[in-house]
Amino acid sequence: MIAHLYEKFLTHLKLSRGASEHTLRGYRHDLSAFSLFAEKDICKEERGKISKRLIRRYLAHLHEKRSGTRTVLRFLSALRGLYKFAMREKLVDDNPLEAIENPKKGKKLPVSVSYAQVELLFEQPDLSSYLGLRDRVIMEVFYSSGLRLSELVGLNRRDFDVRNQLLNVFGKGKKQRQSPITKTASEWLLRYLQHPERSRVEKDPAALFLNRWGGRISARSVDRNFAAYLKASGLTDRITPHTIRHTIATHWLEKGMDLKTIQTLLGHTSLSTTTIYTHVSPKLKQEVYDKAHPRA
């Protein structure tokens, strides 16, 4: 069967491609599981050969085990890599995976939280400290604008238009857009920029948000700070900067903002990406149900 093939393949990955032990363990697990299934399930006419029919039976077996799409894709990736190697080395005559298509990845619905949960999280930073103030301002800007984490940490001071309460944002693909923020968020931001401690530690005067040493704050630091405040809040839901982005988009939609405007504010290339928020909000689901049901 394929055991002798995948051992050669794994040796090739290790020696020629420098694959990590983690990758090798994952490939060995997936390929050995398939090999064991094949030994038990293979038809007499398929003895010694992997067929398209056998692979489809194994995919059905994974489905019966309720394996997720990621598991199936990982297996197919390992098997495709194996057969690409085997064909190149002339260890097999044909590739049974040519007619096998990958399952489509199901879109995960974005997670949002309630306004009360947002408020509780925002109450955690210690406003008497410079760093606590900075973290509260970051939260306010996230909830006001719906920025991505990478967009927020990339902001420069010159990107903040105080008079018009706008942020000049460089999003995915270096696409530029203007993101309005609330008066409240603008006031918080000014308070942070004018804090005497900031001028004392500042080593990167261009950056809008600084770390404790005065350089530009990193995305990892913001994530770590959010995790600490979440733990302190006692909230059970996992709230990250991206959760805040999803939350404000959902709240905008619930307040009646049109999808095209939300698309522009979030920097989505496609409107279909923004449309997914209509499936997230329980309030919107209820509204759709009430309008559609004849007895509602």
The catalytic residue positions are 148, 172, 242, 245, 268, 277
Q: What share of the chain is helix, strand, coil (3-state, %, to 5)?
A: 60, 5, 35
Q: Nearest 5°: phi and psi at 263?
A: -55, -45
Burial grade of 146 (CB within 10 A; 0-12, 13-18, 19 or more): buried
133's tokens: 């103030």
Per-residue DSSP letter, 207: B
Q: Nearest 5°: phi and psi at 107?
A: -75, 125
112's tokens: 């949002």
Per-residue DSSP letter, 181: -
Per-residue DSSP letter, 102: P
Q: Nearest 5°: phi and psi at 225?
A: -65, -40
Tell me the C-alpha distance between 79 and 57, whole Å.
14
CA torsion sign for 282, 258, 110, 138 is: negative
Tell me the C-alpha distance between 248 and 114, whole Å.
10
Beta pairing partners, 170? 176
Q: Nearest 5°: phi and psi at 154?
A: -85, -5
Beta strands in 171-240 (DSSP E): 176-180
Of 152, 117, 158, the C-alpha closest to 134 is 152
